[in-house]
Chains A and B, each alone.
Chain A
Amino acid sequence: MTLDSPTRINPMIRHRASHIGRAVPRREDRSPLMGRQRYIADLKLPGMLEVAFVRSPEAHARIVSIDTAPALGLPGVHAVFTGADLADVDLFPHKILYIQPVRQPALAVDRVRYVGSPYAAVVATDRYVAEDAATLVAAHTEFEPLPTVADLDQALAENAPRLYDDWPDNYLVNFPAEKPEVTQAFEEADHTFSDTYVSQRQTGLPLECRGVLADVHDGYFTVWSSTQSPHIVRTTIAEMTGIPEPRLRVIAPAMGGGFGTKTHIYPEDVVVTWIAGKLGRPVRWLEDRFENLVSAVHARDQRHDVDVAYDDDGTIRAIRCKAICDVGSGEIFMPGTAPVFVTGGCLTGGYDFPNMEVHHFCVVTNKTPSGAYRGFGVPEGMFVMERIIDRVARLTGTDRVEIRRRMILQEDQMPYVMHGGGRVDSGSHAKGFERATEMIGESLERARARYADDPDVRVGVGYTNYVEPTTPTYHLTTGFWAGGDSATLRVDPDGSARVGLGTTALGQGTETTAAQLAADALGLDPDDVTVVMGDTDRAPYGLGAWGSRSAIVMSGSILMAADRLLTKARDIAAHLLEAAAEDVVLSDGSFHVSGSEAPTVSWSQVATSAWVRTLDLPQGMEPGLEMSGYFEPPDLEHLPDMSGKVNAAASWSNGAHAGVVSVRISTGEIKIEDYVVVHDCGTMINPMIIDGQVHGGVAQGIAGAMYEHFQYDPETARPLFASFMEYLYPTCSEVPAMTVEHFETPSPEQPLGVKGCGEGGTIGPAAVVAGAVDDALADLGVEIKATPVTPSAIREAIREATAGGGER
């Protein structure tokens, strides 16, 4: 706990109108809705050239030769660079706990390990010419194909082809575990079963693909990158290229989403900056959708081999889980190894379940590197846990709600330390589940009535109770950064405030919520607050927006800066009022002596004294009215203890989801009839924005539960997708209306009691949909063990369960 981090609004502020907790309209919506948002694709600089990357068509091959001459001969082509030009650049700068060292080249030098891997860059007058030239480079590249590894089984087979010759096998992470108490529970339990659950490969799929524009002038670089973490991009590019950090400005302009995919340091960020320096003129690369599908990080792709020990009465005694993540080629920083640890640590969700033994593995294959995606491992784990609970309920004839009631976390258990070390400080797990059950019960009755006359349709209900870790450490992920973030606050002579933040905005409403926070912290109106983010020259150092961290780190850092600012402002006001500082309070935007309404001194008068009429300041006081705060979340741990346990998240929101589906037996068609969410992220800064986060999260959860799936040819490891013809995301026609309710259990440890809410919605749907389909088809004996749950998969499950087709 830092000494100087306030957790509440400064008590000097009286009679203020609180903006925290109000559904303040989003100030960032106007531009995109009017078509006036400026994305990187809208930015043009004089003399700007366009870059096209040449990407590997081979899943695994040696690059024998590249002849760039034909491409260079094309009119309009300015340069072609290959891996050899940037061979010294390693994009994997930091050694990270538990993982094999990986080298990530800027451009593949002599070997490619996945289809889509960039191995050359073409610079031309426009993108059309650049792609013509890229086609020529590709036509004049000779590859020597190597044996491919398309999935976990192939990667772990004896004598499997290895992606990295100097590794003994294909394990990027090999971290078994053993708990004596789990072994003992297996010996004592009435029964055991083993099963395998699979979460498919997906991606975050932002509407706006990636993009980089780099300019260099007088040795000063400006890089516009569609990134969630501009400061991390700056620090990393500087380290990679040797550009001094003060001469490198990274701007994350308006963004069309990120969902985790834009937290990584991509080769394109570094290569485009390097090219700008090399050519001395602005260059831009805009990722197209095909590139986005094959080269922005993938996610999920986990298999869980579980053993479960349980008793006749439905008590689950212990679970042993081998969690194996297919991380693709592994050539990405930050690496895709962290999600599986989060899966393991959060597998027990909102349940009191200590007897859990998780073995963590990450395996490399000839596929796109995997990394971050909203939910970050938690949805995969909840899918496993709820599948196990439903199966035990079915095997023992226990009611599915009752079995969950017995296990769910109770308020008197707080703080509750989970099996992996996660420390849940508070929550409404039990009452949230009760409320969700109550709400969905009515939906279930309605759906049953709706299909009562159709014997081809069955109706079922599914449940999940999860925890949502927020504001995690970045140290276990990157081996470098930690978990804090900063704010600067300035009050200008006109009395309005400017807040600069190290976090960023990618569509989630941060500008509005930051203004609400700063307004309350300074006793101002949100309209008097201007928020600046996403620019390393204008905003203070920070780690950006990911891991549902912005709410906590903004709250903490804004309160810190505000406290410092208020202390100085009060001294100035007291001087102007000729009163003692300790008697001065701030109400309705004006300073006055406590107990007397007049005279008053406004924020504008105080700031004018501080910046302009500095002769009015108390003797010896340094002019200026700007303060900063760097907030390190309390209780956030950055390294595991000797037993491997770590509280890697500053806070833990919770939620209960329940859904009703109808399934048409003859065709496997599935429809979500109703979906309810009971959510608790502590103190709510803006309930409307939180609702939006939950809705969007559930939509992406449904994407994983029923639609999105990157499939690869098992023979060649080539992608069986190139566009949205193959990779199906749900549209507004497929995402059902949902009901969202909230409990508000403030965190006792985090500033203002906030917890974070960006990812919870994503966690529930896979578990809920699978549970509901199982329930609907229970009399056929169907058990869903993998996502996505498509009609084809449902028919296959019915065929397997009924050995031949079941009812038609």
Chain B
Amino acid sequence: MKPAPFDYYRPATVEDALAALGTSETAKVLAGGQSLIPAMNFRLSQPDLLVDIGGVEGFDRMEVGPSGVMIGASVTQSRVMASDEVANAVPGLRRALHHVAHLQIRNRGTICGSIAHADPAAELPALAIACGATLFLQGPAGERTVDAGDFFLGPFWTDLGEGEIITGVHFPSEPADTVTFLDELAWRSGDFAITGLAGALATRGGSVSGARMVSFGVSGAPGRMTGAEQAVLGFSAGDDGSAVYGAAYEDGADAVDDVHATAEYRREALGALAVRSVRAALSTNGNGTGV
């Protein structure tokens, strides 16, 4: 369990990082290394060059402004979790990070790294979609932004182009009438989700007025639950939840079987998670009275 030989480079500027990435077709960006290094030790990933962005100027910025939170590419999950300012602006972020692995992993793992890695069972890609986050990319052709909802294409597959890196991610401030949440089932605390659900729910007059719901760990990529998003409109605390359950179950139609759970289980669990998290979100938001 030792990696194949590779070169290592730690640039100080984003320009140098991009130039280095341009020198090799197999080069990889190293951020926290919590997924990449194990993959290299298994020789599943054999880059000939690692570009460590931990020292890139400006990548460590974490800024809270009126529009939301800007998180640079080298900001660790623990740092985000520890910030009360961030938690006030985007409460869902801290809540979601409790589900991300363990303390030691969050101490090294980065927000942007998890998004770039795009593990289908990871929490942060789904949360980014649910929050309507924007990704800032930079590559040989210059800078661009992508909505998180358009970024994830499949298992470990994103819109990230050749030689392109994520320089930061912007999470918009949570509107007053909205609750962002994340719930998941994992057999052990800290594991990747067997079935997970991230969402943002707007409420008015005690019932749901708008919803963005994203499943993860269910199929090959985090995905919007279009059926459940419709079914949940008008949902209030007294509803029995069967319509939401049924819609979420159908949203899980492309669920996968693996050693941990059957596809059928994942669909049922997605239904149950949808009902319980919508109920919980309603009660969080002014005990269902909304705004």
Contacts of A790 in B (CB 8 A): 187, 260-261
User: Does B185 contact A791, Cβ atoms closer than 8 Å?
Assistant: yes
A selection of 12 A-B contacts at a CB cut-off of 8 Å is A128-B5, A135-B4, A288-B1, A290-B1, A721-B259, A722-B42, A723-B42, A726-B259, A728-B191, A731-B189, A792-B262, A796-B265
Q: Name the residue on B nearest A710 (C-beta).
A: B259
B245 an interface residue at 8 Å Cβ cutoff?
A: yes
CB < 8 Å A-B pair total? 82
Contacts of B259 in A (CB 8 A): 709, 711, 720-721, 726
A808 an interface residue at 8 Å Cβ cutoff?
A: yes
Contacts of A795 in B (CB 8 A): 264-265, 268-269
Contacts of B273 in A (CB 8 A): 667
User: Does A808 contact B260, Cβ atoms closer than 8 Å?
Assistant: no
Q: Mark B15-54, 1 if CB is under 8 A from A, else 0.
A: 0000000000000000000000010001100000000000
Contacts of B1 in A (CB 8 A): 131, 288-290
A805 an interface residue at 8 Å Cβ cutoff?
A: yes
B188 an interface residue at 8 Å Cβ cutoff?
A: yes
User: Does A667 contact B268, Cβ atoms closer than 8 Å?
Assistant: yes
Q: Mark A708-732, 1 if CB is under 8 A from B, else 0.
A: 0101000000001111011010110
Contacts of A288 in B (CB 8 A): 1
Greatest chain A CB density within 10 A among B192, B261, B273 is at B261
Report Cα–Cα, A808/B272, bound state, in Å: 8
Report Cα–Cα, A128/B40, bound state, in Å: 12
Contacts of A4 in B (CB 8 A): none
A-side interface residues toward B, CB under 8 Å? Answer: 127-128, 131-132, 135, 288-290, 666-669, 706-707, 709, 711, 720-723, 725-726, 728, 730-731, 733-734, 790-792, 795-796, 799, 805, 808
A290-B1, A808-B271 known; A791+B188 contact, CB < 8 A:
no
User: Does B188 contact A730, Cβ atoms closer than 8 Å?
Assistant: yes
CB-based closest 7 A-B pairs: A666-B272, A792-B261, A288-B1, A733-B189, A792-B265, A131-B2, A128-B2
Contacts of A707 in B (CB 8 A): 187-188
Contacts of B265 in A (CB 8 A): 668, 791-792, 795-796
Report Cα–Cα, A706/B260, bound state, in Å: 11
- Within B106-134, the residues touching A (CB, 8 Å) are none
Contacts of B191 in A (CB 8 A): 728
Q: Name the residue on B nearest A128 (C-beta).
A: B2
- Within B166-212, the residues touching A (CB, 8 Å) are 185, 187-192, 194
Contacts of A289 in B (CB 8 A): 1
Greatest chain A CB density within 10 A among B42, B187, B262, B275 is at B187
B38, B261, B275: the one within 8 Å of A791 (CB): B261
Distance in Å: Cβ of A132 to nearest Cβ of chain B: 7
Contacts of B83 in A (CB 8 A): none
User: Does A667 contact B188, Cβ atoms closer than 8 Å?
Assistant: no
Distance in Å: Cβ of B241 to nearest Cβ of chain A: 8
Q: Name the residue on A nearest B246 (C-beta).
A: A808
Q: Is the interface of A mostly helix, strand, loop or mixed?
A: loop
Distance in Å: Cβ of A425 to nearest Cβ of chain B: 41
Contacts of A720 in B (CB 8 A): 259
Report Cα–Cα, A721/B258, bound state, in Å: 11
- Within B40-91, the residues touching A (CB, 8 Å) are 42-43
Contacts of A792 in B (CB 8 A): 194, 260-262, 265
Q: Is the interface of B mostly helix, strand, loop or mixed?
A: loop
User: Does A667 contact B261, Cβ atoms closer than 8 Å?
Assistant: no
Given contacts A135-B4, A721-B259, 15 further A-B contacts (CB under 8 A): A131-B1, A132-B4, A666-B268, A666-B275, A667-B185, A667-B269, A725-B192, A726-B259, A733-B188, A791-B185, A791-B194, A791-B261, A796-B264, A799-B264, A808-B245
- Within B236-291, the residues touching A (CB, 8 Å) are 242, 245, 259-262, 264-265, 268-269, 271-273, 275-276
Distance in Å: Cβ of B55 to nearest Cβ of chain A: 25
Contacts of A669 in B (CB 8 A): 185
Q: Name the residue on A nearest B38 (C-beta).
A: A723
Distance in Å: Cβ of A804 to nearest Cβ of chain B: 11
Distance in Å: Cβ of A531 to nearest Cβ of chain B: 35
Contacts of A734 in B (CB 8 A): 188-189
Q: Name the residue on A nearest B245 (C-beta).
A: A808
Report Cα–Cα, A779/B273, bound state, in Å: 24
User: Does B268 contact A805, Cβ atoms closer than 8 Å?
Assistant: yes
A128-B2, A726-B259 known; A135+B189 contact, CB < 8 A:
no
Q: Name the residue on B nearest A664 (C-beta).
A: B272
Q: Mark B223-237, 1 if CB is under 8 A from A, else 0.
A: 000000000000000
User: Does B268 contact A731, Cβ atoms closer than 8 Å?
Assistant: no
Contacts of B260 in A (CB 8 A): 726, 728, 790, 792
Q: Name the residue on A nearest B266 (C-beta).
A: A792
User: Does B42 contact A290, Cβ atoms closer than 8 Å?
Assistant: yes
Distance in Å: Cβ of B281 to nearest Cβ of chain A: 17
Report Cα–Cα, A668/B242, bound state, in Å: 18
Distance in Å: Cβ of A662 to nearest Cβ of chain B: 15
Distance in Å: Cβ of B97 to nearest Cβ of chain A: 17
Contacts of A667 in B (CB 8 A): 185, 268-269, 272-273
Distance in Å: Cβ of B30 to nearest Cβ of chain A: 18
Distance in Å: Cβ of A712 to nearest Cβ of chain B: 10
Distance in Å: Cβ of B109 to nearest Cβ of chain A: 15
Q: Name the residue on A nearest B1 (C-beta).
A: A288
User: Does B272 contact A733, Cβ atoms closer than 8 Å?
Assistant: no
Contacts of B275 in A (CB 8 A): 666
Report Cα–Cα, A725/B41, bound state, in Å: 14
Q: Name the residue on A nearest B43 (C-beta).
A: A135
Contacts of A725 in B (CB 8 A): 192
Report Cα–Cα, A799/B191, bound state, in Å: 26
Report Cα–Cα, A515/B269, bound state, in Å: 54
Distance in Å: Cβ of B24 to nearest Cβ of chain A: 19
User: Does B187 contact A733, Cβ atoms closer than 8 Å?
Assistant: no
Report Cα–Cα, A798/B49, bound state, in Å: 51
Distance in Å: Cβ of A137 to nearest Cβ of chain B: 14
Distance in Å: Cβ of A446 to nearest Cβ of chain B: 23
Report Cα–Cα, A132/B1, bound state, in Å: 10
Contacts of B192 in A (CB 8 A): 725
Report Cα–Cα, A668/B273, bound state, in Å: 12
User: Does A127 contact B2, Cβ atoms closer than 8 Å?
Assistant: yes
Contacts of A796 in B (CB 8 A): 262, 264-265
A132, A290, A666, A791: the one within 8 Å of B5 (CB): A132
Contacts of B38 in A (CB 8 A): 723
Report Cα–Cα, A290/B185, bound state, in Å: 26
Greatest chain B CB density within 10 A among A128, A669, A795 is at A795
A132, A723, A728: the one within 8 Å of B187 (CB): A728
Contacts of A805 in B (CB 8 A): 268
Distance in Å: Cβ of A76 to nearest Cβ of chain B: 11
Distance in Å: Cβ of A722 to nearest Cβ of chain B: 7
Q: Name the residue on B nearest A707 (C-beta).
A: B187
Distance in Å: Cβ of B51 to nearest Cβ of chain A: 21
A721-B259, A808-B245 known; A731+B2 contact, CB < 8 A:
no
Report Cα–Cα, A688/B95, bound state, in Å: 40
Report Cα–Cα, A728/B188, bound state, in Å: 8
Contacts of B185 in A (CB 8 A): 667, 669, 791
Contacts of A728 in B (CB 8 A): 187-188, 191, 260
